[in-house]
Chains A and B, each alone.
Chain A
Amino acid sequence: MYEQMVTARYYEERLQEEYLEGKQPAFDISAGPIPGELHLAAGHEASGIGVCAHLRDEDTVTAPHRPHHIAIAKGVDLNRMTAEIFGRETGLCRGKGGHMHLFDPDVNFACSGIIAQGCPPAVGAALASKKRNDDTVAVAFLGDGAISQGGFLESLNLAALQGLPVVFVVEDNDWAISMPKERVSSIENGAERAVGFGMPGVRVDYDDVLAVYDAAEAAVERARAGNGPTLLELQVHRRMGHFMGDAESYRTNEDIDWADKQDPIPKLAADMRDAGVSDERIDELAASARERVEAAIEWAKEQPLPDPETAYEDVFVTEEPRRPAVPTGGDD
């Protein structure tokens, strides 16, 4: 898990650097090698990685607009994901999806850029699992801003009613763009909403991957055993703006410093040392993570941009199966 945590963190740091290239000195969202908006998840690693540690390739994950750490944890091909973010032909979605819309059928991973709208499809995947009587589970990730959204609340009800193998994971980073959590919900513990739907609700209220791992283990096992859904609310921290370019004028410096202090990565390293893991081993894991990220970014940047004519393809299913469309990165 430590290697995945640092992979996700380096990945975000490197994406940030690449994203800002060409956008300086005056920030212009449509300039530079990475197009569009970029929502970074630094500070969210414990959630994606602690939860996905219990998942197999056949299990479904739907991620929101801040998906990179979850994708890495689920085993999405890092090279092709990076190529997608750079808008390249060999990207996961042939340059059509971009960073908020990563799709990898090999590990059953999908995204939506619309708040909470990944929840109903996760319920659908769980429904398929129940109908086919296999033991796969589905996990829907969403942010704390999404807990007031109809799509989320309706999904909880349907999943509970049908006893579906799905886990709803709320990543509580305290902020929905400029709205602090206390201004979007009249209850502090979002997991309490589960009670009203007749399912367990569990909150991990400190940012720690080992605690997340334990809570998720129980939820995933419950789902896999056919005992129905669980709502998990996990405290994480937003170390950056809502999107790159967000000056966060609505947020105090104290809050930003606080988020910084809750960093789950040094916390895990300290736990590992306590458990007898050597500093050399920890450094080795970090170095290999860094190498993997650099290789993915280098590979992605060498990939060709798509032929404009391909813009007209994929509106409907094509007769020739296209996947894998192009040489894959061979990362995982």
Chain B
Amino acid sequence: MSRAQTPPMGDRERTMSRAMVEAIAWEMERNEEVFVMGEDVADYGGIFDSTQGLLEQFGHDRIMDVPISETAFIGAAVGAAQQGMRPIAELMFTDFFGVCMDQIYNQMAKNTYMSGGAFNVPMVLMTAVGGTYNDAAQHSQTLYGTFAHLPGMKVVVPSTAYDAKGLMHSAIRDDDPVVYMFHKRLMGIGWMPAPAGPKTGVPEEDYTIPFGEADVKRTGEDATVVTLGLHVHRALEAAETLAGDGIDTEVVDLRTLVPLDTETVLESVRKTGRLVVVDEDYRSFGVTGEIVARVAEEALGDLEAVQRVAVPDVPIPYSRPLEDEVIPGVEDIEAAVRATQ
């Protein structure tokens, strides 16, 4: 697969939230049709800093705080997008999508198809995902698989500031609805310390990262770990430990689930022969099963071992030892890679 040329990272470091905001601001400055709508996106700047500083620059007309009326405001984003505007709607937690799911999976995702292409829906729906801070079952899900499963929306999951900015530029310019899912633990907010990885160099200029191009975050010969979001960093940490024991692990960051870059995964598995898929979503009927199925379809002969690491089909519990048990940790990834050897 040919790779798009993206600019070098440079040494201007940004947190993931700052990088996302830079892309939104750039697009808003140059296109009057781009606006942001959501709960606490203006005066608060986004609970997870996803819109921090935009109110000061653009005012309440273009950075709109809305009442807690998810069906109304997400549906309104769909309507505005169908009129050719480019709304960015934020719903704080992916767990809250249930209250307005019809607007997401019956309207936003299907109107292009049902209208035979007469209408399209160029909007971005962004939301925070993930656990690791003991907030229990209604505030900790990732639900990657849910949105990737339902056709008609592109699904983006950045793991670094560099990727977050490039993917946000692509998302806003995309003519289809894009669900942009950022992990709280990666944002670089003061009250939820991030691991070292997501804060990266970020070019000052605008650049796009095309959807459907996975990124090999670490090359290796002995095993392939396919993952996304926070777990890219957990996999990289596991890979360091494994390297000490002579196991050379390749880490593939999917970056987008729809479209999905099967080719990069296959290339890696053909090289290593061993596949571990790591996901913070539920194990059954999700990302891990999908990746394993695609590899089995296309590269069964190259496959020597497969392991899946995911949330074991239980809601995310509150108490710390319980949450630690069900959300995949670095040790779980290490063990899974060892099990393939």
**Contact of B192 with A98 in the complex, beta carbons under 8 Å:** no
**Contact of B138 with A308 in the complex, beta carbons under 8 Å:** no
Could you tell me the distance between the alpha carbons of A311 and B312 in the complex, rounded to whole angstroms?
Answer: 10
A275 at the interface (CB under 8 A from B): no
Residue in chain B with minimal CB distance to A94: B319
Residues of A within 8 A of B317 (CB): 95-96, 311
Q: A256: shortest Cβ distance to chain B, in Å? A: 15
Which of A117, A177, A183 has a CB less than 8 Å from the CB of B99? A117
Could you tell me the distance between the alpha carbons of A275 and B320 in the complex, rounded to whole angstroms?
Answer: 48
Residues of A within 8 A of B138 (CB): 100-101, 112-114
Could you tell me the distance between the alpha carbons of A311 and B96 in the complex, rounded to whole angstroms?
Answer: 23
Which of B72, B136, B322 has a CB less than 8 Å from the CB of A306? B322
Q: A111: shortest Cβ distance to chain B, in Å? A: 10
Could you tell me the distance between the alpha carbons of A306 and B319 in the complex, rounded to whole angstroms?
Answer: 8
Q: A149-B69, A311-B326 are in contact. Are A96 and B139 (CB under 8 A)?
A: no
Give the dominant DSSP class at B's interface. Answer: loop
Residues of B within 8 A of A30 (CB): 132-134, 192
Interface residues on B, range: 35 or more
Binds B, one of A21-29, A165-173, A278-286, A323-331: A21-29
B195 at the interface (CB under 8 A from A): no
**Contact of B67 with A185 in the complex, beta carbons under 8 Å:** yes
B27 at the interface (CB under 8 A from A): no
**Contact of A87 with B71 in the complex, beta carbons under 8 Å:** no
Q: A309: shortest Cβ distance to chain B, in Å? A: 7
A50 at the interface (CB under 8 A from B): no
A162 at the interface (CB under 8 A from B): no
Residue in chain B with minimal CB distance to A23: B191
A245 at the interface (CB under 8 A from B): yes
For A159-188 the 0/1 string (1 means CB < 8 A from B) is 000000000000000001111000111000
How many A-B contacts if CB must be within 8 Å? 146
**Contact of A150 with B318 in the complex, beta carbons under 8 Å:** no
Could you tell me the distance between the alpha carbons of A87 and B39 in the complex, rounded to whole angstroms?
Answer: 29
Residue in chain B with minimal CB distance to A146: B68
A294 at the interface (CB under 8 A from B): no
B118 at the interface (CB under 8 A from A): no
For B12-38 the 0/1 string (1 means CB < 8 A from A) is 000000000000000000000000000
Q: A36-B318, A87-B319, A149-B99 are in contact. Are A96 and B137 (CB under 8 A)?
A: yes
B267 at the interface (CB under 8 A from A): no
Residues of A within 8 A of B321 (CB): 87, 95, 305-308
**Contact of A179 with B40 in the complex, beta carbons under 8 Å:** yes
Residues of A within 8 A of B47 (CB): 177
A72 at the interface (CB under 8 A from B): no
**Contact of A312 with B314 in the complex, beta carbons under 8 Å:** yes
Q: A28-B192, A98-B136 are in contact. Are A250 and B44 (CB under 8 A)?
A: yes
Q: A28-B193, A112-B138, A114-B96 are in contact. Are A150 and B133 (CB under 8 A)?
A: no
**Contact of A308 with B318 in the complex, beta carbons under 8 Å:** no
Which of B65, B69, B318 has a CB less than 8 Å from the CB of A101? B318
**Contact of A114 with B65 in the complex, beta carbons under 8 Å:** no
For B68-101 the 0/1 string (1 means CB < 8 A from A) is 1111100000000000000000000001101110
Residues of A within 8 A of B319 (CB): 35, 87-88, 91, 95-96, 98, 305-306
**Contact of A36 with B136 in the complex, beta carbons under 8 Å:** yes
Name 8 interchain pairs, CB-CB below 8 A, sorted by A. Answer: A87-B319, A96-B318, A96-B322, A98-B318, A112-B138, A178-B43, A250-B43, A311-B322
Closest 9 CB pairs of A and B: A35-B134, A95-B319, A98-B318, A87-B319, A308-B325, A148-B67, A178-B44, A184-B67, A36-B134
